[in-house]
């Protein structure tokens, strides 16, 4: 059965400090609605807006209060040393795997530079560490290409556990599933969830799992449900109009789970009440 993970938001207090009790409450809410796991400090969790120490505190809270949930830690940083330190610490704390962005600021070295960077990361980690390569070119501008995947599987096959495909191309996800049967392929694209599962994807890591967990659970278990897929696509499209993090946090705030506002440079939703009302017309948040 494919796994369903929430790209979990990071609850913040009024002075923008990590709110651990609210994170635990949100995790229990998602667990009760059938999710298999959470991914703290990913894109939706605003990972790159926190320091390494802050990210480790967030990840550690999720691990310590996981219940039945799996925990995949978002550990990619622009600094290789920071990525190594955070990945080591997250896995030592008990995270099941690390989701690692490619380096994306210096691009002149192309695939060769990305391969070298990931190889140095793997070399620094204990044997048995699980790395999920994070393909999200709309944000990074750097694709995890077959050249990169093939090179890493050749040199470090025991470390490369999977790929999260957060591109916007269903055919690309299908290609990854067909080409790399030994890897766990996660889709990060809710509008193609049913197709990805039908094509053999091993699971999903989705932002809107924070607000429509039950619909996504039903669709994951029965991808023939075109009615649910249509609803999920509508919710996904809606939250991205203003910004996924701002809108998802607005909906959770209005639903009674005070997760705070996004960190700079992201802006808060301009009208949380309107966002919640519009969401309820298409969504299913159950409090």
- Domain assignment of residue 118, yes or no: yes
Containing domain of residue 56, as a range? 3-223
Residue 209 CA, chain-centre distance (Å), reads: 10
- Domain assignment of residue 102, yes or no: yes
Q: Are strands 160-165 and 131-135 parallel, antiparallel or unpaired?
A: parallel
Whether the link from the prior residue into 265 is cis, omega within 30° of 0, is yes
Q: What does the radius of gyration of the chain's CA atoms come to, in whole angstroms?
A: 18
The Cα–Cα gap between 37 and 129 comes to 18
The Cα–Cα gap between 135 and 163 comes to 7
- Domain assignment of residue 165, yes or no: yes
Mean pLDDT of the region 35-53? 98
The Cα–Cα gap between 191 and 229 comes to 7
Q: What is the DSSP letter of 46?
A: T
Q: What proportion of the chain, given as a percentage, has pLDDT over 90?
A: 96
pLDDT over 90 (residue 283): no
Q: Which tokens belong to 223?
A: 């991808």
- Domain assignment of residue 278, yes or no: no
**What tens digit of pLDDT does each residue of 139-189 get?**
999 999 999 999 999 999 999 999 999 988 899 999 999 999 999 999 999
Mean pLDDT of the region 225-242? 96
Rounded to the nearest integer, the mean pLDDT of the chain is: 96
* Class of residue 114 by CB neighbours under 10 A (exposed 0-12, middle 13-18, buried 19+): buried
The Cα–Cα gap between 284 and 287 comes to 9
36, 5 in Cβ contact below 8 A? yes
The CB density around residue 105, as the number of other CB atoms within 10 Å, is 8
The Cα–Cα gap between 7 and 72 comes to 9
Among 100, 142, 151, 104, CA closest to 121: 100
Give long-range contacts, CB 8 A cutoff, 24+ apart: 75-79. 75/41, 75/99, 75/100, 76/47, 76/100, 76/101, 76/102, 76/134, 77/48, 77/52, 77/101, 78/103, 78/104, 78/105
Among 176, 209, 215, 173, CA closest to 192: 173
**What tens digit of pLDDT does each residue of 250-279 get?**
999 999 999 999 999 999 999 999 999 999
104, 78 in Cβ contact below 8 A? yes
- Domain assignment of residue 142, yes or no: yes
Residue 209's pLDDT is what? 98
pLDDT over 50 (residue 286): no
The CB density around residue 123, as the number of other CB atoms within 10 Å, is 11
Residue 245's pLDDT is what? 98
pLDDT band at residue 1 using 50, 70 and 90 as cut-offs: confident
Domain at 39, CATH number: 3.20.20.70
Residue 287's pLDDT is what? 42
- Domain assignment of residue 14, yes or no: yes
**Region class of 135: left (phi > 0), else alpha (psi between -120 and 50), else beta:** beta
pLDDT band at residue 13 using 50, 70 and 90 as cut-offs: very high
Residue 284's pLDDT is what? 66
- Domain assignment of residue 206, yes or no: yes
Among 164, 157, 160, 232, CA closest to 193: 232
Q: What is the DSSP letter of 18?
A: B
Q: What is the DSSP letter of 267?
A: P
**What tens digit of pLDDT does each residue of 179-220 get?**
999 999 999 999 999 999 999 999 999 999 999 999 999 999
**What tens digit of pLDDT does each residue of 68-88 get?**
999 999 999 999 999 999 999
**What tens digit of pLDDT does each residue of 94-122 get?**
999 999 999 999 999 999 999 999 999 99
pLDDT band at residue 17 using 50, 70 and 90 as cut-offs: very high
State how many domains the chain has.
1
pLDDT band at residue 285 using 50, 70 and 90 as cut-offs: low
- Domain assignment of residue 157, yes or no: yes
Q: What is the DSSP letter of 157?
A: T
């Amino acid at each position: 059965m494919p796994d369903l993970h929430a790209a979990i938001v990071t609850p913040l207090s009024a002075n923008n400090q990590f709110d651990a009790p609210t994170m635990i409450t949100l995790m229990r809410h998602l667990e009760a609605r059938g999710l298999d796991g959470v991914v703290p400090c990913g894109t939706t969790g605003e990972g790159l807006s926190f320091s390494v120490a802050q990210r480790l505190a967030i990840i550690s809270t999720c691990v310590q209060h996981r219940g039945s949930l799996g925990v995949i830690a978002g550990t990619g940083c622009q600094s290789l040393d920071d990525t190594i330190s955070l990945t080591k610490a997250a896995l030592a704390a008990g995270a099941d795997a690390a989701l690692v962005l490619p380096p994306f600021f210096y691009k002149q070295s192309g695939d060769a530079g990305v391969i070298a960077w990931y190889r140095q990361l793997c070399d620094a980690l204990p044997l048995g560490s699980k790395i999920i390569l994070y393909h999200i070119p709309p944000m990074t501008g750097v694709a995890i290409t077959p050249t990169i995947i093939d090179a890493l599987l050749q040199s470090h096959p025991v470390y490369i556990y999977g790929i999260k495909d957060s591109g916007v191309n269903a055919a690309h996800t299908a290609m990854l599933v067909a080409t790399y049967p030994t890897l766990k392929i996660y889709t990060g694209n809710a509008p193609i969830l049913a197709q990805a599962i039908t094509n053999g994807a091993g699971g999903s890591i989705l932002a809107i799992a924070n607000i429509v967990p039950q619909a996504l659970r039903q669709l994951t278990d029965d991808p023939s449900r075109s009615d649910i897929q249509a609803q999920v696509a509508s919710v996904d499209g809606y939250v991205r109009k203003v910004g996924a993090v701002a809108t998802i946090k607005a909906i959770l705030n209005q639903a009674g789970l005070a997760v705070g506002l996004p960190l700079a440079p992201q802006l808060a939703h301009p009208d949380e009440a309107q966002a919640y009302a519009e969401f309820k017309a298409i969504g299913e948040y159950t409090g």
